[in-house]
Amino acid sequence: MNAESQSATYAEITGWGKCVPPAQLTNDDLATFVDTSDEWITTRTGIKARRISHVNTAELAALAAKRAMAAAGISPEEVDLVALATSCPDTIVPNTASKVQQLIGAKNAAAFDLNSACTGFLYALQNATAQVRSGMIKKAVVIGAERMSWWVNWALRETAVLFGDGAGAVVIEASDKPTGLVHAQLGCDSEARDILEIRGFGTDMDRYENPPSALDVHFMGPDIFKRAVRAMGQGSETVLAKAQLSVDDIDLLVPHQANLRIIASLQKQFKLADEQVMVNIHNYGNTSAATVPIALCEALETGRVKPGANIMTAAFGAGLTWGAGYIKWGERVTPVNVCDEELPANDKTAQELLSIAIKHCLNK
């Protein structure tokens, strides 16, 4: 371990990037094959549209990572770790992070997948931050990437309207400045883990006698709402206390984008003004582990993150995992470089991309 590693006690976020696929599925589009309406979805969730990917999770993650590395001004060879938070892996074995490592050219990096559902990005960020702060690594790319549309049963209205696809990433680097994820509180309410689950997949299923058919997301909305508000609120209070901050010190809250009413409840609890809360659920729906990094990227792109800002983030997901974190932003809020690469061209609409899945689900 060299002197630089020993003196570096923080993990500053130096780069950020997102990747949202171009095909958009609006509420009106959904209403053409699901018994719903724009009014029904909007009033219950705040969602107006979501993106449907024409590529796999690894490709979404890789482009977000490339954009984050460009923003940080680092080369792929400098990356020591690729941490991918996802519940939509391309493959179970090998892990999807190894594919991302290959696609971004980070040949010197370790790579792992982490599945903590919607809280995954916070779990991965805490893990990578701990490695940087311990001196074990210097630079990491932390990604939240999901292709949630792959799991959706389009015959089930309550969940078909919620989810979308996308990816967001950050680069963290060793620093002696008190920046980055300074404090975090993670937890898991496992007693209620069965109220949010994807059934019919994994070694829990009967592989030979009852092979999987249509997968679906089992979702008990009212109970999830109550637990999400409580866990995210308590976690945020704990982190504020650890950081010796008051609510008045918060410049921006970047919460998990699962439901606008959950976000509004958290905002009310902490008495935050609208300009202090980052909301983009109306454009993307719930992209699970990708919501927080996508929202953080958009906050930076729109000038809502100022140098030295105090940022709070909180999330809640299946498991039931939960987490909150305090991020002290550094001085730079503009990218060093810009990645001009795009996803492979797609000439299909969201409905055309989903046509086989929709037909399969609705004919069951």
Residues classed as catalytic: 118, 256, 286
Peptide bond into 94 cis (omega under 30): yes
| Six-digit token string for 85 | 């938070």
> Beta strand pairing status for 81-85 and 139-147?
parallel
| Six-digit token string for 248 | 């008045």
> Could you tell me the end-to-end alpha-carbon distance of the chain, in angstroms, rounded to an integer?
59
Closest CA to 333 of 294, 291, 303, 298: 303
| DSSP symbols for 304-357 | ---TT-EEEEEEEEGGGEEEEEEEE--S--S-SS-----PPP----HHHHHHHH
Contact between 145 and 86 (Cβ < 8 Å)? yes
Closest CA to 84 of 155, 154, 170, 164: 170
CA distance 312 to 183: 10
135 — alpha (psi -120 to 50), left (phi > 0) or beta?
left
Contact between 141 and 79 (Cβ < 8 Å)? yes
Give the side-chain half-sphere CA count within 13 A for 254. Answer: 26
| Six-digit token string for 218 | 């089992």
CA distance 266 to 211: 41
Which sign, positive or negative, has the C-alpha torsion 359, 57, 49, 313? positive
Peptide bond into 353 cis (omega under 30): no
| Six-digit token string for 42 | 């909007």
Contact between 79 and 68 (Cβ < 8 Å)? no
